[in-house]
A and B are shown apart, each in its own frame.
Chain A
Amino acid sequence: MAANPINALSAAEQAERRRRVKRTALLLGLVAGSFYVGFIILTYFRSQH
């Protein structure tokens, strides 16, 4: 008995999980994008000196 249907998520829980997945993925994508742009801006200002 590997699975336990009693432990299965309800439809509402699954919908909430889908929302959390989307939110977390977008947030992490935003963080990665910020690092990319941020380091280019940082180097730009550094090269002005």
Chain B
Amino acid sequence: MAYDSHAGAAHGHDAHDDHKPHGWRRWVFATNHKDIGTMYLLFAGLMFFIGGMMAMIIRAELFKPGLQFVDPQFFNSMTTMHALFMIFGAVMPAWTGLANWQIPLQVGAPDMALPRLNNFSFWILPFAFTILFSTIFVPGGGPAGGWTLYPPLVLQGSESFPMVIFAIHLMGASSILGAINVIVTIMNMRAPGMTLLRMPLFVWSWLITAYLLIAVMPVLAGAVTMLLTDHFFGTTFFTAAGGGDPVMFQHIFWFFGHPEVYILILPAFGIVSEIIPAFARKPIFGYEAMVYAIASIAFLSFIVWAHHMFTVGMPLAGQLFFMLSTMLIAIPTGVKVFNWTATMWKSSMTFEPPMLFALSFLFLFTIGGFSGLMLAIVPADFQYHDTYFVVAHFHYVLVPGAVFSIMAGVYYWLPKWTSKMYDLKLATIHFWLSTIFVNVLFFPQHFLGLAGMPRRIPDYATQFTDWNMVSSIGAFGFGLSQLLFPYIIWKCVKSGVPAPSRAWEGAHGLEWELPSPLPYHTWEDPPSAELIARGAAH
């Protein structure tokens, strides 16, 4: 059975008092968590396709050696902007969108704790990304020094520099406000009886992610503020001529940057921990261990930052510390992979699109984890640093890791959000095309990196041609197959068949106890202890 078409809808909730505004006011002045969640997800989708177009330009240029389509400055601008759009525009807003939709539903809260702040933190984003995108058109072009913004290179950039810094400040403010809202909601708005250790793992993963955000986004903001004052106000925080230290910027950046990686991936752990039990029809194996593993990963993410900069020349003791602390992360990550596998052991699995994407995550994210372990080894990293091996590593973590689990989450909850079932066959095709092409795209980049091809260059030596061609073909295939995703969602909203309130027979959690279509306002009266106990299937 593809999905549970016989489950009864829990009717009788307050569908009659859906006082929702209409027209543009509903969206511009939105305070409803579902509307804001939808806006975040649509925005993330738009950024995903803009960032994806930039990736297509990069891969078209790299299809063969020599300069084909763009000049090197524009190429470097594309690599920089692609990263900024995908990280801050696509993945992070997609997680915030999912958090907005799901956290109040899953903890039995009527809405996010601070709805107006929620509206504000969303509407900052379109302005930030309009500013960032418009830098392409200023004299000298957009930022081209890489998303890491290392001085002194970034200080020698085009006239777009202050616009980029302003845009990053806005993105940071949006993320911090969103994180405050998530923590305040989870800590104060849970229904009576929804204890911390009864919360769904998606909520847990987001709670920990939000703490990470509050700790590190201000650090990025501080770093880019100092870049700004170095550039315009004569300070020398990172200018060696005035007593500053450019390597200090790298330390500060990666003190933000490494936890940022976990900000992008921890909610994925939460989503996969929701989906695998639902389609394995078994409670998650080791619920508490999963919570402690996420918390351990979050803690460890603060003490590994310098593994991104082994080659700057740090003391041996520092290299050893950061190498070993990085390797420690494999332990809680291993606990999670083991528990997901143990959940599936001797279960009655079915393979609907959310489960397919979750399983793909499990295999391919693990490949990204293993290449991460290779990069953690100091002497090996001296060889791999700044090569395509690193590009392959983090794309395995972020595309089949973060992006696939966002798609898994959307495919899992879409029937709840729309009360309609999407085209399962088309979604399965979307899954297979994505999984095949993502490997064609990124796996050859391991070989290119090991052979010594450096990253962030528009041209390369001819011995790298074959694998670059394969990688570019994979990129075009992956890019085209993603067009199916918005089409499937649009088709579902327009003409999907009605879905029952519990769309998947193995799904547990408070959101599935609500009727379909979902009332505009939910859990205005908190759920009963009985419902909470039934929802907490672990």
Number of A-B contacts (CB under 8 A): 111
1/0 per residue A2-32: CB within 8 Å of B?
A: 1111111100000001001100110011011
- In the complex, whether B531 has a CB less than 8 A from a CB of chain A is yes
- For this complex, into which size category does the number of interface residues on chain B fall? 35 or more
Q: Which of A17, A28, A49 has the most CB of B within 10 A?
A: A28
Q: A17-B189, A32-B180, A40-B222 are in contact. Are A8 and B244 (CB under 8 A)?
A: no
Alpha-carbon separation in the docked complex, A12 to B123 (Å): 33
Alpha-carbon separation in the docked complex, A4 to B13 (Å): 10
Q: A21-B184, A28-B183, A48-B243 are in contact. Are A4 and B526 (CB under 8 A)?
A: yes
Q: Are B187 and A1 in contact (CB under 8 A)?
A: no
Q: A2-B12, A21-B114, A36-B222 are in contact. Are A8 and B180 (CB under 8 A)?
A: no
Q: Which of B483-536 contact A (CB under 8 A)?
A: 513-515, 523-529, 531
Alpha-carbon separation in the docked complex, A34 to B187 (Å): 21
Q: Which of B176-194 contact A (CB under 8 A)?
A: 176, 179-181, 183-184, 187-189, 191-193
Contact residues in A for B525 (Cβ distance below 8 Å): 3-5, 7-8
Q: Which of B16-50 contact A (CB under 8 A)?
A: none
Q: Are A31 and B237 in contact (CB under 8 A)?
A: no
Q: Are A36 and B12 in contact (CB under 8 A)?
A: no
Q: Are A20 and B188 in contact (CB under 8 A)?
A: yes
Q: Are A1 and B113 in contact (CB under 8 A)?
A: no
Partner of B245, one of A20, A33, A47: A47
Q: A2-B513, A3-B14, A21-B113 are in contact. Are A44 and B237 (CB under 8 A)?
A: yes
- In the complex, whether B171 has a CB less than 8 A from a CB of chain A is no
Contact residues in B for A6 (Cβ distance below 8 Å): 528
Q: Are B226 and A40 in contact (CB under 8 A)?
A: yes
Which chain A residue shows the least CB distance to B191? Answer: A7
Q: Are B114 and A1 in contact (CB under 8 A)?
A: no
Q: Are B218 and A35 in contact (CB under 8 A)?
A: yes
Q: Are B113 and A25 in contact (CB under 8 A)?
A: yes
Partner of A24, one of B188, B192, B244: B188
For the complex formed, measure the closest distance between the CB of A8 and the CB atoms of chain B, giving whole angstroms.
5
Partner of A39, one of B113, B192, B222, B528: B222
Q: List 24 A-B contacts (CB under 8 A).
A: A2-B531, A3-B13, A4-B526, A4-B528, A7-B193, A8-B526, A20-B187, A21-B184, A24-B183, A24-B184, A24-B187, A25-B113, A25-B114, A25-B180, A28-B180, A28-B183, A28-B184, A36-B221, A39-B223, A43-B226, A43-B252, A46-B245, A46-B248, A47-B244
Given contacts A17-B188, A32-B214, 9 further A-B contacts (CB under 8 A): A1-B528, A2-B513, A7-B193, A28-B183, A31-B214, A34-B218, A36-B225, A39-B223, A47-B243
Hey, which bits of chain A sit against chain B, CB under 8 A? 1-9, 17, 20-21, 24-25, 28-29, 31-40, 43-44, 46-49
- The list of the 10 closest CB pairs from A to B, nearest first, reads A4-B528, A36-B218, A35-B218, A3-B525, A39-B222, A2-B13, A47-B244, A28-B180, A7-B526, A8-B525
